[in-house]
Amino acid sequence: MRLRPTLTLVIAAGLALAAFGQAPSENTPAPIVSGELLRLSPALGGSAGNASDAKPKVLRDPFEIGQALPSPDPLIDLRTPFIQMPDDAPHGYTGPSGIAPREQQSVAQFEPIEDRWRLGIPDYDRYGKGHPGQDDYLGVEGSLWDPYNQNVLKGDYPIFGQHAFLRLNAKNFNLFEARDLPTPITPFEATRNPFDAGFFGDPDSYTFAQNTSLSFDLFHGNTSFKPPDWRIKVESVFNMNHLVADELAVVSPDVRSGQSRFRQDFTLQEWFAEAKLIDTSPYYDFLSTRVGSQTFTSDFRGFIFSDTNRAVRLFGTRQANRDQYNVIWFDQMEKDSNSLLNRLEKDRHQNTLIANYYRQDFLYPGYNVNVSMHANRDKASREFDLNNFLVRPDPVGVFQPHEVRSYYLGAASNGHIERINVSSALYYVFGQDLLNPIAGRRQDISAWMGALELSYDRDWMRFRTSYFYSSGDADPNNEHATGFDAIFANPNFAGTEFSYWGRQGIRLFGVELTNRLSLTPSMRNGKFQGQTNFVNPGLHLVNFGVDSDLTPKLRLIQNTNLLWFNQTEVLETYLFTGEVRNFIGTDVSLGAEYRPLLNNNILLVSGLSTLLAGDGFRDLFQDLDGQTRNHIAGFLETTFEY
């Protein structure tokens, strides 16, 4: 029994010697090497098999490193058919391949496929339902008009080559909004009833706006694995807007224009070219530049600057993308008065330089910080908007063209510390206003802004509380402007999108007490075309809110804001009135977001808000009968996106 393995090896060696030197023929089996014998011999623990199961020659007889590959045996290739990969398509919509094969198949066992992105996947129906559209199903075949699954038109497959991708985006946005706004009037000339007298008339107004946009984003890179080598983006927007008011002199200073206004506008809102300048580390850290009209927000919540405008940007990352930085210079274009889109032919005479630095996982994992510097130079200019209202300088006090130079230093944070979500900001602004219209003299700017939000997640609900502060000017007649104002704010804080105070632009005789989608009572003639004004009353805001994800499709957002003026001396001087008290009122709002497809391709957002007037609001706004009402507003936004 002990001699049996030795005898087996001797027999194997004899068979190998007998096969050596024989010419191959159709009836001659391929030689069996010792490795195959170990697999075939039951005596050695292997399993029986046929000689046709033998491995290819290149695997039976490995070659040394550096040695040339053996040339294929022409006889074997002639009698072995070429392997043909199944003609299956990948999931989604790939479009035609833009890659021409560089080689043809030369061996039977391998088929060259040049386009690695379009390797086929066999048809697969796990549950046998035929891929119903309403189910979250594996292996869904896409189509040209399917933006949910993989599609070459949204950058999932190269449009040409291996690294060039195209993102095509079509979007339709509609806004329906009705609101009660304090509406200033002039006696006899501006009131609907010529015998009415008072400062504020019928507050009702209604607006409709529609933006239809189409954008092309062509970039060269490796999708999300590394930054683009280059990128070109163009977005065109067509706008229609309609305003109806119950008072005259709202749609135009000429009362003969009536009570309604309809406008159309078309522009290239975003257009830029981007190029990567250098890779700065092995972890895809980079330095890139972008030139053209582009969207930029300078901090986490948009407290100081958030806009789409003409700019030159230098940006990149450090430490394996843990740090990000930006240096951007804006040469701003004028905004259209009604659509709020950029006017390509009109210069704004304003330049803004911004530098910021982001650090992720600062002190705690998931807690991120941002430090920034803003320098804004708003040059002296005189501008009437497209509705013939004077917007620069502000039509109050000494309204002479003047230049404002302001410089912002600040830090912000956003993230979580353990289970508490934290968002904060602190900014200081200084500079000069060469001729403030309210103060009537040169002003040295020195003002502060602070914000803090704490929230806690409990299952499907988030409980929030926040505080916002902007300093006010206690003496508008001196040479020190201490009221805080932002350059182009669009804050996502304390429910600004849904609240009455934050969403509506409340006018106060020539200026807006607070601008649309802003928090600070800056008393400037709109944030879109007016100049920053640092002679203002400032604000204290205390917020309590709850976000509730009722279903994966439906979210409710509830906010209650308590509002106070920080200083009221500016209001008293501006209105030539007696005491104006500090408490503005209580702002209560409820918003809803509905995503019927569980994505943002169809999005419905609605909100309802009211401002329960406090003593300070009553001191400023009274109807013709001497009363101050509790104002209300509601809106519906619909977004359809491909």
Kindly report the three-state secondary structure assignment for every residue of 59-95: HHCCCCCCCCCCCCCHHHHHHCCCCCCCCCCCCEECC
Q: Do 81 and 108 touch, CB atoms closer than 8 A?
A: yes
Average pLDDT rounded to a whole number, residues 469-488 = 96
Q: Do 531 and 512 touch, CB atoms closer than 8 A?
A: no
Per-residue pLDDT tens digits for 302-318: 999 999 999 999 999 99
Average pLDDT rounded to a whole number, residues 366-379 = 97
Asked if residue 64 and residue 187 are part of one domain, the reply reads no
Q: Mind giving me the DSSP string for 283-317?
A: TS-EEEEEEEEEEEESSSS-SSBEEEEEEEEEEEE
Average pLDDT rounded to a whole number, residues 149-161 = 88
Q: Which of 92, 223, 218, 89 is nearest to 146 (CA)?
A: 92
Split at pLDDT 50, 70, 90, the class of 149 is confident
pLDDT at 188 over 70: no
Q: Which of 483, 506, 485, 503 is nearest to 493 (CA)?
A: 503
Asked if residue 285 and residue 179 are part of one domain, the reply reads yes
Q: Do 334 and 347 touch, CB atoms closer than 8 A?
A: yes
What is the pLDDT at residue 257? 87
pLDDT at 212 over 50: yes
Average pLDDT rounded to a whole number, residues 21-42 = 40
Both tokens of residue 88? 């299956």
Split at pLDDT 50, 70, 90, the class of 448 is very high
Q: Mind giving me the DSSP string for 461-525?
A: EEEEEEEEEE---S-TTSSEE-----SB-----TTTTT-HHHHS-EEETTEEEE-TT--S---BS
Higher pLDDT, 33 or 478: 478
Asked if residue 402 and residue 281 are part of one domain, the reply reads yes
Q: Which stretch of 34-48, 53-67, 623-637 has the lowest confidence by average pLDDT? A: 34-48
Q: Check residue 98 and report its DSSP letter.
A: -
Token look-up 């066992």 returns 109
Per the domain annotation, does 127 fall within a domain?
no
CA distance 350 to 348: 5
Higher pLDDT, 78 or 323: 323
Per-residue pLDDT tens digits for 160-176: 888 899 999 999 999 99
Q: Regarding beta strands 323-335 and 260-279, do their DSSP bridges make them parallel or antiparallel, or are they unpaired? A: unpaired
What is the pLDDT at residue 39? 38
Three-state SS letters, 609-626: EEEEECHHHHHHCCCCCC
**H-run or E-run covering 331:** strand 323-335
| Residues paired with 408 in a beta bridge | 374, 429
Q: Which of 25, 42, 70 is the last residue of a domain?
A: 70
What is the pLDDT at residue 127? 79
Asked if residue 178 and residue 29 are part of one domain, the reply reads no
Q: Do 520 and 506 touch, CB atoms closer than 8 A?
A: no
Per the domain annotation, does 131 fall within a domain?
no
Per the domain annotation, does 551 fall within a domain?
yes
Q: Do 158 and 607 touch, CB atoms closer than 8 A?
A: no
Average pLDDT rounded to a whole number, residues 357-383 = 96
Q: Check residue 36 and report its DSSP letter.
A: H
What is the pLDDT at residue 95? 86
Both tokens of residue 407? 């410089």
Q: Which of 21, 43, 70 is the last residue of a domain?
A: 70
Backbone angles phi, psi at 466, to 5 degrees: -150, 160
CATH no. for residue 475?
2.40.160.100
> In sequence order, what are the residues at sequence separation of 6 or more whose Cβ sits closer than 8 angstroms to the Cβ of residue 88?
120, 121, 122, 123
Average pLDDT rounded to a whole number, residues 530-553 = 97
What is the pLDDT at residue 354? 98
Per-residue pLDDT tens digits for 325-368: 999 999 999 999 999 999 999 999 999 999 999 999 999 999 99
pLDDT at 388 over 70: yes
Per the domain annotation, does 115 fall within a domain?
no
**Measured in whole angstroms, how far is the alpha carbon of residue 483 from the centre of its chain?**
30
Q: Which of 226, 223, 211, 137 is nearest to 169 (CA)?
A: 211
Backbone angles phi, psi at 358, to 5 degrees: -110, 140
3-state secondary structure of 144: coil
Strands (DSSP E) contained in 379-440 are 383-384, 390-392, 404-417, 420-436
Split at pLDDT 50, 70, 90, the class of 190 is very low
Asked if residue 482 and residue 336 are part of one domain, the reply reads yes
Share of the chain above pLDDT 70, in %: 83
Token look-up 């001797």 returns 10
What is the pLDDT at residue 15? 43
Average pLDDT rounded to a whole number, residues 586-600 = 95
Higher pLDDT, 629 or 95: 95
For the chain, how many structural domains are there in total?
A: 2
CA distance 182 to 245: 12
Q: Which amino acid is at 130?
A: G
What is the pLDDT at residue 170? 95
CA distance 485 to 481: 10
| Residues paired with 187 in a beta bridge | none
Per-residue pLDDT tens digits for 68-96: 545 555 544 455 677 776 777 788 888 88
Average pLDDT rounded to a whole number, residues 578-604 = 94
> In sequence order, what are the residues at sequence separation of 6 or more whose Cβ sits closer than 8 angstroms to the Cβ of residue 155?
165, 166, 167, 217, 219, 223
Per the domain annotation, does 142 fall within a domain?
no
Helices (H) and strands (E) in the chain, counts: 7, 23
Q: CA of 77: how far to CAs of 30, 62, 63, 69, 82, in Å? A: 15, 19, 20, 16, 8
What is the pLDDT at residue 46? 43
Asked if residue 254 and residue 356 are part of one domain, the reply reads yes
Split at pLDDT 50, 70, 90, the class of 187 is low
Asked if residue 574 and residue 464 are part of one domain, the reply reads yes
Both tokens of residue 580? 């104006």
What is the pLDDT at residue 626? 62
Split at pLDDT 50, 70, 90, the class of 129 is confident
Per the domain annotation, does 210 fall within a domain?
yes
Asked if residue 63 and residue 175 are part of one domain, the reply reads no
Per the domain annotation, does 514 fall within a domain?
yes
Average pLDDT rounded to a whole number, residues 400-425 = 97
Both tokens of residue 157? 């497959």
Average pLDDT rounded to a whole number, residues 206-235 = 91
What is the pLDDT at residue 23? 42
> In sequence order, what are the residues at sequence separation of 6 or more whose Cβ sits closer than 8 angstroms to the Cβ of residue 459?
none
Average pLDDT rounded to a whole number, residues 195-204 = 67
Asked if residue 180 and residue 54 are part of one domain, the reply reads no
What is the pLDDT at residue 556? 98
Split at pLDDT 50, 70, 90, the class of 446 is very high
What is the pLDDT at residue 629? 77
Average pLDDT rounded to a whole number, residues 626-632 = 79
pLDDT at 372 over 80: yes
Asked if residue 424 and residue 536 are part of one domain, the reply reads yes
What is the pLDDT at residue 123? 75
Q: Which of 22, 50, 70 is the last residue of a domain?
A: 70
pLDDT at 9 over 50: no
Q: Which stretch of 30-39, 395-404, 423-432, 626-635 has the lowest confidence by average pLDDT? A: 30-39
Q: CA of 128: how far to CAs of 131, 142, 171, in Å? A: 8, 18, 35
> Domain residues for 532?
164-641
Q: Do 477 and 572 touch, CB atoms closer than 8 A?
A: no
Split at pLDDT 50, 70, 90, the class of 249 is confident
Q: Do 241 and 208 touch, CB atoms closer than 8 A?
A: yes
pLDDT at 108 over 80: no
Per the domain annotation, does 96 fall within a domain?
no
Split at pLDDT 50, 70, 90, the class of 375 is very high
